[in-house]
């Protein structure tokens, strides 16, 4: 068994190497597509997690807008320039000279 195995092993090794080379050349496009798809999957998973974070922030914003009157007043004052009766809004101009 020992001597016969040693004589046949190099022949099997050569055959396996040739088969491997043929498979590598013929399946290379498939492997490239597999790698490409994996990178696309990773990118899409990152986008999904970013969208989930945005969705969480939007839900918090909606909750505050629906339930917190002081928050609504803050936004109205900040974005629309409203003031309560008796309040004055001061605008300071910065010189660009």
Mind listing the pLDDT tens digit for each residue in 20-45?
887 776 677 877 788 899 999 999 99
CB 65 within 8 A of CB 71: yes
Task: Read off the pLDDT band of 3 (50, 70, 90).
Answer: low
CA distances from 66 to 23, 28, 29, 82, 84 (A): 62, 56, 54, 20, 21
Six token digits for residue 75:
């936004």
């Amino acid at each position: 068994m020992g001597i016969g195995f040693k004589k046949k092993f190099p022949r099997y090794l050569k055959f396996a190497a040739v088969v491997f080379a043929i498979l590598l050349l013929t399946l290379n496009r498939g492997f490239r597509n597999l790698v490409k798809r994996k990178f696309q999957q990773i990118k899409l998973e990152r986008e999904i997690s970013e969208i989930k974070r945005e969705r969480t922030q939007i839900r918090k914003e909606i909750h505050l807008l629906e339930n917190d009157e002081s928050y609504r007043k803050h936004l109205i004052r900040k974005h629309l320039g409203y003031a309560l009766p008796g309040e004055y809004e001061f605008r300071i101009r910065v010189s660009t000279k």
